[in-house]
């Protein structure tokens, strides 16, 4: 379990939660508001930024940090999951082949674009992120054994190609030593123990700055698959960054941190905020030792506050008495209930800021 890491002349304490800033923005919040919530980094999406605003603009401005005025850690997802989701939901929009991902402009207009591992790295250098992630082949939940093997093979092959392009870009741009970004590879294999082991072993042979827990993280009953997360963690070096992609709830994060995971990203805090669901501590977080309850299957140290309920219309207490965020210091449950009721945008902004501050506090407690 790493305690800290350095990239581009800056050192970060671990663990770190990265809210999704898919298109260069955490929905409803400015970069300054995200920083005020004690968030240290964000994750952005390569596939989406490739078209909006596009690499031409990103290159001109010097990358996503300058564009969104963000001084913290920036991680760029490869875009693989979004491409998989797009094609899986509508196969007429593209297909995955050994060379990369073929995309069609629409169902009727069959203008073809090939998105390769090399393209993914090239776009990530235009984004100019601190941590880049290799393009991987995300397999369907119901994938056959043959498809799973294909997914693992492609993921390994693509990671190798990504590393070659990454080193080429670093050499061209003279990014060496402490000025160099980091490159992470994703471990696939779904719920097949041996395939995950093989994928991890082959990726480690290639050599990366860190590794990610990829694939669908839930079992057939919809429960988080902690065993596969453990397999992935144990198959990767202890001295390399470990990224739990798409994870998750505070309880998921708490348990995976004990396995050695360092980085986490998820839409939950901001998405829940937009649905009037706020995270609140049940006790003073300053006195909360999450390491002592690491084996708990259910969390009792926090709960959800549903501000759409009528009882909050006259509740003039803070959102959470144990929270030091600006929202809790300056606003009441009744006021947020009112803002949600009249559907004012400030409601989503305040709720998102609060939830991110909650997640940041969880990270602080897990250090």
Q: 259-314, pLDDT tens digit by residue?
A: 999 999 999 999 999 999 999 999 999 888 887 775 554 458 999 999 999 999 99
Give the chain's domain count: 2
| Same domain, yes or no: 101 and 74 | yes
**pLDDT tens digits, one per residue of 133-146:** 999 998 878 889 99
Instruction: Let me know: does 258 contact 285? Beta carbons within 8 Å.
Output: no
Contact 163, 133 (CB under 8 A): no
**Interval 173-182 mean pLDDT:** 94
Tell me what pLDDT residue 302 has: 94
Tell me if 163 sits within 8 A of 186, measured CB to CB.
Answer: no
pLDDT single digits (tens) 347-366: 999 999 999 999 999 999 99
Question: Which of the following is catalytic: 20, 77, 130, 137?
Answer: 77
Span of 7-21, 43-57, 80-94, 148-162 with lowest mean pLDDT: 80-94
Give the model's confidence band at 92: pLDDT under 50 very low, under 70 low, under 90 confident, else very high: confident
| pLDDT in the model for residue 109 | 63
Structure confidence at residue 294 (pLDDT):
56
**Residue 105 and residue 53 share a domain:** yes
pLDDT band at 189 (very low <50, low <70, confident <90, very high): very high
Rounded to an integer, the average pLDDT of 316-331 is: 96
Split at pLDDT 50, 70, 90, the class of 113 is: confident
Both 147 and 22 in one domain: the answer is: yes
Predicted confidence (pLDDT) at residue 178 exceeds the cutoff of 80: yes
**Given 20, 130, 192, 265, the catalytic residue:** 265
Which residues pair with residue 250 across a beta bridge? none
- Out of 235, 266, 297, pick the residue that ends a domain: 266
**Does residue 276 have a cis peptide bond before it, meaning omega lies within 30 degrees of 0?**
no
| Catalytic-residue membership of 137 | no
The pLDDT assigned to 86 comes to 83
In this predicted structure, what is the pLDDT of residue 110?
66
Among candidate residues 17, 61, 14, the one with its CA nearest the CA of residue 246: 17
- Reply yes or no on whether 77 is catalytic: yes
Asked whether residue 228 falls in the same domain as residue 126, the answer is: yes
Residue 141's domain spans which residues?
A: 4-266
CA–CA distance, 302 with 282 (Å, rounded to integer):
5
Q: Is 102 helix (H, G, I), strand (E, B) or coil?
A: strand
In a domain, 272, yes or no: no
**Which one of 266, 296, 319 terminates a domain?**
266
For the segment 238-261, what is each residue's pLDDT rounded down to a tens digit? 999 999 999 999 999 999 999 999
CATH code, domain carrying 232: 3.20.20.105
pLDDT for the residue numbered 362 = 97
Are 296 and 172 part of one and the same domain?
Answer: no
> pLDDT value at position 311?
97
Same domain (yes/no): 253, 326: no
Residue 299 has a pLDDT of 58
Strands 263-266 and 73-77: unpaired
Name, in order, each residue with C-beta under 8 angstroms of 181's C-beta and a sequence gap of 6 or more: 7, 8, 128, 129, 130, 131, 132, 170, 175
b/e per residue 273-288 (b: at least 16 CB within 10 A): bbebbbbbbeeebeeb
Q: What is the mean pLDDT of residues 39-57?
A: 95
Q: Of 266, 292, 323, which residue sits at a domain end?
A: 266
Q: What is the pLDDT of residue 108?
A: 64
The mean predicted confidence, pLDDT, of the chain is: 93
């Amino acid at each position: 379990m790493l305690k800290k890491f350095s990239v581009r002349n800056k050192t970060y304490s671990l663990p770190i939660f990265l809210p999704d800033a898919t298109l260069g923005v955490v929905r409803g919040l400015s970069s300054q508001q995200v920083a005020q919530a004690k968030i240290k980094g964000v994750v952005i999406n390569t596939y989406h930024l490739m078209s909006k605003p596009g690499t031409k603009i990103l290159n001109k401005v010097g990358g996503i940090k300058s564009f969104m005025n963000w001084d913290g850690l920036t991680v760029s997802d490869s875009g693989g999951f979004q491409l998989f989701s797009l094609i899986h939901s509508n196969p007429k929009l593209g297909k995955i082949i050994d060379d990369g991902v073929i995309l069609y402009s629409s169902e009727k207009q069959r203008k073809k674009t090939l998105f390769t591992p090399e393209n993914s790295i090239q776009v990530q250098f235009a984004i100019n992120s601190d941590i880049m992630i290799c393009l991987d082949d995300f397999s369907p939940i119901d994938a056959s054994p043959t498809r799973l093997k294909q997914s693992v093979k492609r993921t390994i092959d693509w990671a190798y190609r990504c590393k070659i392009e990454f080193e080429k870009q670093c050499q061209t741009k003279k990014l060496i030593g402490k000025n160099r970004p980091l490159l992470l590879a994703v471990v696939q294999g779904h719920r097949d123990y041996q395939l995950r082991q093989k994928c991890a072993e082959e990726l480690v042979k290639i050599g990366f700055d860190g590794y990610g827990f990829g694939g669908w993280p839930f079992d057939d009953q919809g429960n988080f698959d902690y065993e596969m997360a453990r397999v992935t963690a144990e198959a990767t070096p202890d001295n390399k960054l470990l990224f739990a992609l798409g994870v998750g709830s505070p309880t998921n994060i708490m348990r995976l941190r004990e396995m050695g995971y360092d980085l986490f990203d998820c839409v939950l805090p901001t998405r829940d905020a937009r649905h009037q669901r706020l995270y609140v501590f049940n006790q003073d977080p300053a006195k909360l030792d999450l390491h002592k309850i690491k084996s708990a299957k259910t969390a009792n140290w926090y709960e959800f506050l549903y501000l759409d309920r009528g009882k909050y219309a006259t509740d003039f207490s803070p959102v959470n008495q144990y929270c030091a965020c600006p929202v809790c210091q300056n606003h009441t449950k009744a006021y947020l209930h009112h803002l949600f009721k009249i559907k004012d945008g400030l409601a989503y902004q305040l709720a998102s800021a609060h939830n991110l501050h909650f997640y940041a506090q969880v990270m602080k407690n897990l250090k």
